[in-house]
């Protein structure tokens, strides 16, 4: 349970204060959200994000400027701004506060202020809270898996059963199985880990890994090949 009045906040300046809610450090794997309160007449600087952002006005009245087009918003009006489109929000009232709930479509979301060029990760903005885990520090395991002809359905069922083994392992954040369009026997398993050692030493040295290989091994035509990758860029 996340209660905004009990969580650390960040002063954005010019009368705006942000409280991150769902963050990577708190368990998010695919999105971030939080609230920002605008004092009467307050506005934040024009900026862009590298991912889609949705904002709902949850208190008061706002003005949103999306690429030069200004629109007044009432409580519960919601915006959807594509990646890399300049925008900002203002409090339309000079007497009452305004509050928004924002959501980014990726834990790797960034903000770039157009006036200053300041650029940084959303989850890297300090609130004074001690954060031990950040999305930027994670690695993604990508395993190429080739399945014996006729075993595709059984293999997918085996991976579904094994998902709980990964979910319960220390340091795992997400798991996705993808299938090649051109070669239906070729699959790719994508697992996000807090660190390489969580995978190579923690999981691979556990009984869960033995069970994983027991489940999928009979369906594979070749040995799996796995590599680890770090996030470099989210273009949109």
How far apart, in whole angstroms, are the C-alpha atoms of residue 5 and residue 38?
15
Q: Indicate whether 136 pLDDT > 90.
A: no
How far apart, in whole angstroms, are the C-alpha atoms of residue 213 and residue 23?
32
For the segment 81-127, what is each residue's pLDDT rounded down to a tens digit? 999 999 999 999 999 999 999 999 999 999 999 999 999 999 887 67
Lowest mean pLDDT among 25-29, 97-101, 215-219: 25-29
Neighbours of 56 (CB within 10 A): 18
Tokens of 28: 């998010």
How far apart, in whole angstroms, are the C-alpha atoms of residue 51 and residue 99?
22
**Cβ proximity of 187 and 175 under 8 Å:** no
For the segment 151-201, what is each residue's pLDDT rounded down to a tens digit? 999 999 999 999 999 999 999 999 999 999 999 999 999 999 999 999 999
pTM for this prediction: 0.88
For the segment 37-94, what is each residue's pLDDT rounded down to a tens digit? 999 999 999 999 999 999 999 999 999 999 999 999 999 999 999 999 999 999 999 9
Could you tell me the pLDDT band of residue 222, with boundaries at 50, 70 and 90? very high
| Residue indicated by tokens 């959303």 | 122
């Amino acid at each position: 349970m996340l209660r905004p009045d009990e969580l650390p906040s960040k002063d954005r300046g010019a009368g705006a204060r942000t409280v991150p809610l769902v963050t990577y450090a708190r368990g998010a794997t695919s999105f971030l959200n939080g609230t920002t309160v605008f004092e009467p007449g307050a506005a934040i600087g024009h900026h862009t994000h590298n991912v889609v952002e949705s904002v709902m006005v949850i208190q008061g009245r706002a003005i949103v400027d999306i690429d030069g087009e200004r629109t007044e918003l009432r409580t519960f009006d919601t915006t959807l701004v594509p990646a890399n489109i300049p925008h900002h929000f203002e409090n339309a009232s000079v007497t009452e506060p305004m509050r928004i709930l924002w959501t980014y479509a990726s834990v790797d979301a960034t903000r770039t202020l157009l006036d200053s060029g300041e650029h940084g990760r959303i989850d890297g903005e300090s609130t004074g809270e001690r954060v031990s885990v950040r999305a930027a520090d994670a690695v993604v395991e990508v395993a190429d898996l080739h399945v014996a002809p006729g075993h595709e359905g059984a293999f997918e069922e085996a991976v579904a059963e094994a998902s709980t083994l990964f979910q319960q392992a220390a340091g795992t954040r997400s798991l996705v199985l993808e299938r090649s369009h051109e070669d239906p026997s070729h699959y790719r398993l994508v697992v996000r880990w807090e660190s390489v050692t969580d995978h190579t030493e923690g999981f691979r040295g556990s009984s869960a890994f033995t069970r994983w290989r027991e489940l999928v091994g009979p369906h594979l035509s070749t040995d799996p090949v796995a590599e680890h990758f770090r996030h470099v860029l989210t273009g949109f």
